[in-house]
Structures are given as structure tokens and as C-alpha cells.
Structure 1
Amino acid sequence: MGGAPVVVGVDGSESALGAVGLAAREARLRGTGLRIVFAFIWPLMNVSLDPSAPAPQEAGLRHQADIFVDNAVRRAEEEAPGVAVEGAVVMGDVLPVMMEESRTAGLIVVGSRGRGAFTGLLLGSTAVHLTAHGHCPVLVARGESNPRGPVVVGVDGSPAGSAAIDFAFAEASWRGTSVRAVHGWSILGAPPPVDPVVMGADPKGTFTDTGERLLAEVLAGRVADYPEVRVDRTVTKDGPRQALIEASRDAALVVTGARGRGGFAGLLLGSVSQALLHHAHSPVAVVRGEG
């Protein structure tokens, strides 16, 4: 197996084990190894790693950390036999540990909630920081992944969103499924849609026609690069949040850029990405673009 590994953070929670299963499947799809990481901060806080005097030897904090990792390794091996799996207990706080891991990872996978080092990961600073500053895409394990469902991607035509589209097509190719490209209107970055019947507008200037042209232009190169991937295009007057959440119901995963423009303005810390992380019905991949 070659290429940058998939890295998943664990903390012993059920959510983290679910993320391990997702990460193992991703590693199998990509033909890469899987690295399972437990961020172990206690030694840096001068906390004893050994069990207290009355407790058995296996009660120590270090032993418990090893158990978390061993359980995760077994889960990964059961989920994706044949994938090379490495488990590691890394000294440090979760944020700097996962940021450093992202430098050499092809993908970081995290659970939507956890305990210990990953408590509040979905809504807290770790997830926000990883999606904003990580050096690779971040996949949040939430909802249910439909193995036969499409890879859903939000398209706004921005240069920053280009990386998310590339990610979506690669995922669809590995999975042998389709891409569902969604362009939704938002009041934040575009004039409201015009009904040509009511307003007497040129049909070629309507929101739908403009959106379809945008999708055709943005997707043309990817369609040529991935001829085996079927593409379904959706242009909707619904806001991008609602359109992507609804599209995620039967999706393998939903992919969004870390920031965008137009219908996806303010994506980095704004309503669309946060809405997906809260409400999507499938795993959510956040992909940072250049610049």
C-alpha cells in the first residue's frame, strides 16, 4: 500500500470507534495504510501513569490508553481486512497532535462526539481548527454512509471550492458511485432568483439557467478526467444549507469546501459548514482549497 495514510483520532468512545470503521474503509478505498492515534496529555501534566498502590497493574493510565488503541486496531482490522493498521499513543494535547498528523496524512477522520481528549470535538475548537488550518481534508463521522449512494458536493464556482470537487470525484471513482453536484442560492452572496414568467426576464438569464451553466463549466474538466463517474446536477432556489442537508439523506458522504463565495459565502465559520456538521445525515468531508 502506498500514498499518504488515513489518520483517525480515538479516545475510547463509541463515536471514535465508529470513526475508526469509516477511516478503515477509506484506507481500503484509497489503497493506503491506516494510522490510529490516541493523544495522551496526562504525562505532560505530571500525572502518574502507574496504578495507585491498591489497584491492579492494568489500572494505570498508560495501560488504559494502550487498551483504547488496541481496541481500535481490532475494529479496523475487522472492518477492512488487509489494510495495514498502525496504532500509536502520542504524547501531547489533541489539537497540536492532530495538526501535526495532518501534515503527513492524506485524510484525517474524527468522530462527531467523544470523551476525554476529544470531548466536544464536533462543536469545539479542535474541529473548527482542523477544518480551518489542517494540512489535509477532514472527514467527520456522523449519520449513516450509504455505500451505494452518491458523493454529494456543494458547488459555487469559487477557486477555493475546486479542491472539494476534486475530492468528491476521486471518492466517487474509488467507490464506484456517482457524484451529485448541488448549487443552491443564498441571500448572502447572490441576487434572488427571478421567475421569468412573473418578471418577464429572458429565460437564459434565470437563476436555473445560470446555475446550470456554472455547473457545466466547473464540472467539465472533472467529467473528462473521470469518464466512469456519472454526474447528477441539482440547481435549486433552496439555500445551500437545506439543499446539501437534504441531499445527504441517501449519500455516501457530503463534501464541502472550507470557504467559498456566492451561495456558499462564509463557509469556513459560517452557516453552511456548521449546518452540515450539525445536521447532515451522512459523513461530512471539509476540504480546504488553495489560498
Structure 2
Amino acid sequence: MRLLVGVDETEQSAAALRWAVALARDVQHTAQRRDGLTPPAVQVVVAQAWMYPALPLMANSGGAAEAESMDAKVLLSLRHFAERILESADPTALSMLDFVALRGKATAALIQYAEARHVDLIVLGTRRLDAVERRFPGSVGRTITEQAHCDVVIVPIGSEARRGPIVVGVDSSEDSRLLETRAAQLAPSLSRDGVVLVHCSNYGSLVPSNAGLPIAFAEISGDLSSRVSETLGSGLRAHGIHYRTVLTVGDPGRGLCNVADNERARFLMVGTHSESTLKRMLFGGVGSYVTGHAHVPVMVVR
């Protein structure tokens, strides 16, 4: 398993590094407990991009040497950053880290490296954005989430120590089957509390077209919750993963964030592909919403 942590030596990238190291440790420990054999190799690549040519001097004949010198400085700075972040939490984790200096814009450099090196998961940190900042696209996290060919995790500051269940936003689509399969792969290593499947509906979709009003909302939601429990979770049941379902009504993004908060989720998992209206609600705009608003890490699954 190969993780790529994009850092810029800020507080949010420190959160991403701590989260990635904790995930790598949990994967290794779980495998070792199961069979007593040597745990699987989990590589955590810590990368920082810098613009090349960043200095006019690098455009001259001595540019290659200057670029190599800058690479060396970036690598040294990355190692010092990792040592400072992990010295109190997990100093031995440095042995599982590789450091890479990437040349170019951060978004393109990280995506290209991830594709070339067959990275399984890109991990990025984020700070809490205010209402104005959320309206402007173009952040590194948003761009990589939209364009990367592998899964991406966005880690808000202060959320990296959570150890609750994996919360998964689902509907009845094939994309939800993919999310269930991914959750089943990760749950044994990353969640003692199993998986929470969250189905989000708006109120109108719960009311039958021939229903007279007033109608008992509790009766409708209870019936739908039962049907959701019956139809979802096959991918988890096949792997013997403990799970439960939660039905929320209203805005799907807010619903997922609220459930993740209430459950103190280790992370919230959403998909990216969509065709139907419901799938667009859940996996299109909702994915963008939760990465900007969730208080827990968000994994966007490809």
C-alpha cells in the first residue's frame, strides 16, 4: 500500500501526515495480529512541490545544478518537518517515510507522481474555510480530488485522532457497491466500530404521490429505513463486516456531515461518479460540500 502525503509545512499538512502515519500503523498491526507474519509493506511518501525554474538563475546554463540544490534543500526541510511533527506522537514512524521533492505546481506535480508511482491514496490537509473562501474553486485539495485517478483523503486540522466508525454515504446505485467494497477492505484495520451506511433523502421523496396529508413522517421514514437496511450492505455482509444504516432527511451534504460528527467517525467516505439525479445529489455536489464543511477526514473514492 502506497500513500502520498502532500505537504507545505503548515499546520494542515501536519494533520495530514499524522493521519497517514496512523493509518499505515493500523494496517500493519492488523495484518500482524491476524497471521503473526511480517506485516505488509506500507509506504508513506511525503512530498512537497516547488516551482521550477523558481529563480532566473535556473534558466541559465547552471540551472540543472541549482535545481538539484533546491531539491536537496526541500528534502532536508521535509525531514526536519516530519521529525518535529512525529517526535512526540510516533518517532519510530520516520523509518516508514520516504521524502520526495517535486518540481512544478503542487496540483499537477502530485497528480502526476501519484499516477506514475501507482499511489493508492493521496492524503492532504485542510484548514476550516469560511463562507467566502468556499465559493472560490481552485484550491489544491479540490483540484486533486476532482482530477486524481486514485482515492483522496482531505484531513481537517484537529480531526486526525478520531477512531470511530467509517461513515459511508450511499444510495441504491452501483457506485454505492464500490463504496461498500472499499469500506469492507478498510474496516478491519481502521475501525473497531464497523461501518455506518448513511442514506440521504429529501422530504418530498419520502411521501407517496397518493398519500393524504397530514401524513405520519415517522411511519414513512421508519419504513424507508427498513427497506434501506434490506437493500444496502450486501458488500459488507459478504465480508462479515459489522454495519448499521442511518436515514437522514434534507440536504445530503449536511446530513452526512451531521452523522459523521455525531458518530465521531474516523472518516467519511463518498464517491465521485454520478448519472441519476439522486447520484448527482449524493456523489456530485455533496462530495464537494463535505470536503469543505466536514469536521472529520473525508475520503473521496474513485
Residue aligning to 1:33: 43
State the distance in 2 between where 1:112 and 1:159 align.
30
Whole-Å Cα distance in 2 between the matches of residues 239 and 72 of structure 1?
40
CA offsets per residue over residues 120-160 of structure 1, 9 Å max, x none? Answer: 9x952533332223121100011524543111110112222
Gaps of 5+ in 2: 29-41, 59-68, 129-133
CA distance in 2, matches of 1:105, 1:47: 33
Cα distance change, pair 279–128 in 1 and its aligned pair in 2 (3 A): closer
**1:209 shift after superposition:** 2.8
TM-score after normalising by structure 2: 0.74
Distance 1:268 1:133 in 2: 15
Deviations 1:171-197 (A, max 9, x none): 32112331111001047xxx5312868
1:87 Cα deviation from its structure 2 partner: 0.7
Q: CA RMSD, aligned part only? A: 3.2
Structure 2 equivalent of residue 44 of structure 1: 53
Report the alpha carbon displacement of residue 77 of structure 1 after superposing the two structures with TM: 7.1
Tell me what 1:193 maps to. 206
Equivalent position amino acid for 2:75 in 1: D
Alignment partner of 2:271 out of 257, 260, 269: 257
Counterpart of 1:159 in structure 2 is: 174
Distance 1:105 1:215, change over 3 A: farther
CA distance in 1, matches of 2:57, 2:12: 27
Among 240, 243, 253, which residue is 2:255 paired with? 243
Aligned partners of 2:79 and 2:124: how far apart in 1? 17
How big is each residue's C-alpha offset from its partner over 1:39-67, in whole Å with a ceiling of 9 and x where there is no partner? 121x3344457xxxxxxxxxx85565234
The amino acid across from 1:256 in the alignment is: V
TM-score (norm. length: structure 1): 0.77
Paired residue secondary structure (1:12): coil
Map 1:81-230 → 2, pairs under 5 A: 81=92, 84-103=96-115, 104-113=118-127, 124-142=138-156, 143-145=158-160, 147-175=162-190, 176-186=192-202, 191-194=204-207, 198=213, 206=220, 208-225=222-239, 227=240, 229-230=241-242
- The whole-number CA distance in structure 1 between the counterparts of 2:186 and 2:227 is 24
Aligned residues: 261
Unaligned runs of 5+ in 1: 50-59, 115-119
Shift of 1:90: 1.7
- The answer on 1:70 being equivalent to 2:63 is no
Q: Percent identity?
A: 23
Q: Which residue identity does 2:144 align to in structure 1? A: L
The Cα shift of 1:102 comes to: 2.5
Using a 3 Å threshold, how does the CA distance of structure 1 residues 256 and 78 change in structure 2: closer, same or farther?
Answer: same
